[in-house]
Structure 1
Amino acid sequence: MLDVTKVPSPCYVMEEDLLRKNLNLIKSVAGKAGVEIILAFKAFAMWKSFPIFREYISHTTASSVYEARLAFEEFGSPAHTYSPAYTEADFPEYLKYSSHITFNSLSQYERFYPAAKASARPVSCGIRVNPEYSEVEVELYNPCAPGTRFGVTADLLPDRLPEGIEGFHCHCHCESSSYELERTLKHIEEKFSPWFPQLKWLNLGGGHLMTRKDYDIEHLVGLLQGLRSRYPHLRIILEPGSAFAWQTGPLIASVVDIVESRGIRTAILDVSFTCHMPDCLEMPYQPAVRGAESLPADAVKTARKEEHIYRLGGNSCLSGDYMGSWKFDHELQIGERIVFEDMIHYTIVKTTMFNGIRHPSIALCHSNGELEIYRTFRYEDYRDRMC
């Protein structure tokens, strides 16, 4: 059990037992369904924990040269790589670190396939396709929104695929259920199944939140088994990110000050929403805080002092670096720990050093309760990024 009082503040802490619980479930789904599930670095790339991951999965997915290199050097296997646009300068590096490369457009494929074909390392090439269907409501996260820059629509594909295209990649989900996948598959098959006989693999992308408590695992397994039975020659790949690190640990912060303006009380913390929890502002959503009740955001405006309702404020100079409201069962005190739940996925990979604010440390709480500090950030980390 993690003792938050013994964790340096601020700090992201991943808990090994919770991680292994997710990994066991994901491995079980892959085995029952006969598919491969790989880790998407865009959601989680804490490479010092990769020895644990390698006990359960064999590959990862990358969207940049740095991610592909991380896969090759630290995970120990070449990446399944997709980028919206490759460049002449970077493509040789992608070839060096990738086993699969997906192109976002036919023009990118035509430009770079000759190099892939001539590569000393065998590379399986694919095209990202757009089924023009997604149930993602927040447009910032909807890869199939009208006018999207992602993927090729069915009307633009020739009857006979160009030489070397061995797979289709399709990404339509964000923290989605198996029932959304079921409806999406109908659109994918309706639009793209005529080309399936020409393919070797089909990558269904990420956003499959199979480790969420209410996710219907048996329904997912049945869907994937059915897909494989219809197209037995296709290797089916899923590449979730959040599902691996979902609810595997908190961000631990401390109260630095408490200010009041027009009856609104704000507890200012030693972390920042904009720097350390950006999805809270982008998505937006109000995260769970341990020991506090989450209320509608405007509840703090009419709260009585004795109700112990606070906004939580970040320590950057951005005016909007705050969220609220949370109800505590006591008066908050300077130095008190505030624990933001489920802060491992899509946080560490998206943090910034805006304002030069101290970056939270990164740690792993082992199964025996031992806390291993993976990284503590220093002034030099900020300085070296600014030069």
Structure 2
Amino acid sequence: MDLTTASFSIKTHDSRKTIRQIVSEMVHNHDDREDQDDPFFICDMGDVIKKFTRWRRLLPRVEPHYAVKCNPDPAVLATLAALGTGFDCASKNEIKTMLELSVSPSRIIFANPCKQKSHLKYACDTNVSMMTFDNEDELHKIKRVYPAAKLVLRILTDDTTAQCQLGLKYGCHPKHARYLLQVAMQLDLNVIGVSFHVGSGCRDSSAYTKAIASAREIFDIADYMGYHMDLLDIGGGFPGQASAPIAFEEFADVINCALGEYFPNDCGVRVIAEPGRYFVASAFTLAVNVTAKRIVSRDIKTFEVPESKDLVSNTVAPNKCEEPAYMYYVNDGVYGSFNCLLYDHAVVEPITLTDHTDELEYFTSIWGPSCDGLDRIIEHTTMAELQVGEWIIFKDMGAYTVCAGSEFNGFKRPVLYYVLPNKLRSSMQEMLQQENKEFAKKQAIKYHKRLTADGDEGGISFAFEDERLLCQSPTNHIRA
């Protein structure tokens, strides 16, 4: 039985089912797709909930503020909001999205050190007061637009080993922190803490130790100057899939140890973080269809690509004496869900839906559907021969994928199916009832305001019925 809200529907399933089995079922149950062979995502909401439980167990002192930019899927956001996480927003629209989900402004950090003026004004108008900065001009802008903001100084850390380095763009050098704090004091601005980011997809757990130690030095400088900061934001960088070079448990151990040394429990400092891929990477699985194939020669080439010597590409067709290689064309690519290959430096692994165990494997490349030669998903791997119409699965596709996909060349974004193990049905149902209730309340209030603006309240009253809020008038009953 499905669980349904105003925004999405979740299909429940036997907890023993594998993702491959669920994908196989969805291949045949294509009512929500325009064409049967259209690509689709499976989002395992149980995985998101499991990640939250794991976080609270391993990092009990650290309050997660989910990085909305990583994957702004409505079901993910609603679930994390119901679980009580905070949110890292980088723009007006991200803030607006979370406020519309009834997230309190106090649970949002505007974690963009270089903010558009109109977005800053929106944060002021909606009481989203906690925000980062890392330069002097930003302080003057905040003074003009939102002088009551609660500021968090973002410092530069060593992120050279990270999957995506952010220090190239953001962060005040620790040696420059004193000067920025002096400027903030002269402007009578309230600096409440320090933040850092060791880079998205961090590959060195010791980076957190160094960054936390550096933050402690800034706290001491601020205390000497007269600031009494009480917030430490340790940013993101946490792994979200089992194949990550370093396990989340190692990061948690290092962070807990560093916090214990530099910010012990009784120091009065609140600790938050900005995990993104941690919550969603492994929750999303993408299924694509092989729309075409090409047989080429494995060894004989008419040209070379210097930076891709092993590239399986369109060169010479094989004769009967040569071993073939295969090029497969699928219906999602780097302009769609696989934009992570370009923007997030991701590495993906193809898994065939059909069992090809014990079959011969051949050199293979996989290409997206657009007419652009850049649209290459995998330049070289080995796989059994596939036929047109077969399905390929890609796991761990939740981070920086759906958020940046386009419909270039007219290829639609994949349909998204939400699934949940039966054992979590009751817990999720309670959360969704609350989400429904808040949505209905907002709709009823909007209706009330509209009538009031027209000068006719019409005898409106509000009442709960069957766990849903009804907007009642003498002439009609509107179920929000």
Structure 1 90/37 Cα, relative in aligned 2: closer, same or farther at 3 Å?
A: closer
Q: Is the 8 A contact 2:167 2:199 kept in 1?
A: no
Residue identity opposite 2:201 in structure 1: E
Find the residue that maps to 2:200 and give its secondary structure: coil
Whether 1:154 and 2:175 are equivalent positions in the alignment is yes
1:198 to 205, 228, 237: 228
Matches within 5 A, 1:45-64: 45-64=72-91
Q: How many residues align?
A: 346
Offset at residue 353 of structure 1 (A) = 2.0
Cα deviations by residue, 1:57-114 (Å, 9 ceiling, x for unpaired): 3310100111111121125222210224333333221223424122232211122234
SS at match of 2:389: coil
Gaps of 5+ in 2: 1-16, 31-37, 296-313, 316-323, 354-358, 425-480
Is 1:27 paired with 2:56? Answer: yes
Paired letter, 1:327: T
Alignment partner of 1:244: what SS?
Answer: helix
My pick for the range that moved more, 204-213 or 4-13, is: 204-213
1:142 pairs, out of 146, 161, 165, with 165
Residues 22 and 243 in structure 1, CA contact (< 8 A), matched pair in contact too: yes
Q: Does 1:288 align with 2:349?
A: yes
* 1:283/1:41 CA distance change after superposition, 3 Å: closer
- Displacement of 1:211: 6.4
CA distance in 2, matches of 1:137, 1:282: 13
Q: Given that residues 209 and 258 in structure 2 are in contact (C-alpha distance below 8 angstroms), is that contact kept between their aligned partners in structure 1? A: yes
Counterpart of 1:108 in 2: which secondary structure? Answer: helix
Structure 1: gaps (5+ residues) = 293-304, 371-387
Counterpart residue type for residue 174 of structure 1: S
Which of residues 267, 270, 290 in structure 1 aligns to 2:328? 267
Residues 1:210 and 1:307: Cα distance change in structure 2 (over 3 Å): closer
Residue 364 (1) aligns with residue 418 (2): yes
**TM-score between the two structures when normalised by the length of structure 2:** 0.65
- 1:300-339 matches, cutoff 5 A: 306-322=360-376, 323-328=378-383, 330-339=384-393
Question: SS state of the match for residue 349, structure 1?
Answer: coil
In 1, distance between residues paired with 2:116 and 2:395?
Answer: 39
Asked if 1:183 corresponds to 2:210, the answer is: yes
In the TM superposition, 1:95-244 aligns within 5 A as: 95-97=124-126, 98-117=128-147, 123-131=149-157, 133-136=158-161, 141-145=164-168, 148-151=169-172, 153-155=174-176, 157-158=178-179, 160=182, 161-162=184-185, 163=188, 164-176=190-202, 177-190=204-217, 193-195=220-222, 198-209=228-239, 212=242, 214-215=247-248, 216=250, 217-229=252-264, 232-244=267-279
Q: 1:157 to 1:83 in 2, by over 3 A?
A: same
Question: What aligned pairs does 1:13-24 form with structure 2 within 5 A after superposition?
Answer: 13-24=42-53
Q: Helix, strand or coil: the match of 1:165? A: strand
Is contact 1:106-1:127 (8 Å) kept?
no
Query: 1:196-254, CA deviations, whole angstroms, 9 ceiling, x for partnerless residues?
Result: 56312121111122765723133333333333318813211111101111311211111
TM-score by length of 1: 0.80
- SS of the residue corresponding to residue 153 of structure 2 reads strand
Over the aligned positions, Cα root-mean-square deviation in angstroms equals 2.8
Among candidates 260, 282, 286, match of residue 247 of structure 1: 282
In the alignment, is the contact (CA less than 8 A) between 1:82 and 1:104 conserved in 2?
no
Alpha-carbon separation, structure 2, partners of 1:46 and 1:312: 27
Q: Distance in 1 between matches of 2:276 and 2:415?
A: 21
Q: Given the superposition, is the C-alpha separation of residues 137 and 62 from structure 1 closer, same or farther in structure 2, using an over 3 Å criterion? A: closer
1:143 maps to amino acid:
L
Deviations 1:258-287 (CA, angstroms, capped at 9, x unpaired): 013335421100111232211213443431
2: distance between equivalents of 1:55 and 1:259? 48
Q: More deviation in 71-80 or 355-364?
A: 71-80
Partner of 2:24: 5
For 1:229 and 1:211, locate their aligned partners in 2 and report how far apart those are by CA, in whole Å.
30
Q: Residues 129 and 168 of structure 1: is their aligned pair in 2 closer, same or farther, counting only changes over 3 Å?
A: same
- Secondary structure of 2:403's counterpart equals helix
Q: Secondary structure at the match of 1:134?
A: coil
Tell me if structure 2 keeps the 8 A contact 1:286–1:324: no
Separation (CA, whole Å) in 2 of partners of 1:134 and 1:49: 28
- Which residue in the other structure is 1:300 paired with? none
Rg larger in structure: 2
Moved more, 80-89 or 234-243: 80-89
- Match of 1:376? none
Between 182-191 and 249-258, report the one with greater CA deviation.
182-191
How far the C-alpha of 1:152 sits from its partner, in A, is: 5.4
- Return the letter of the residue paired with 2:104: S
1:313, CA displacement in angstroms?
0.6
SS at match of 1:107: helix
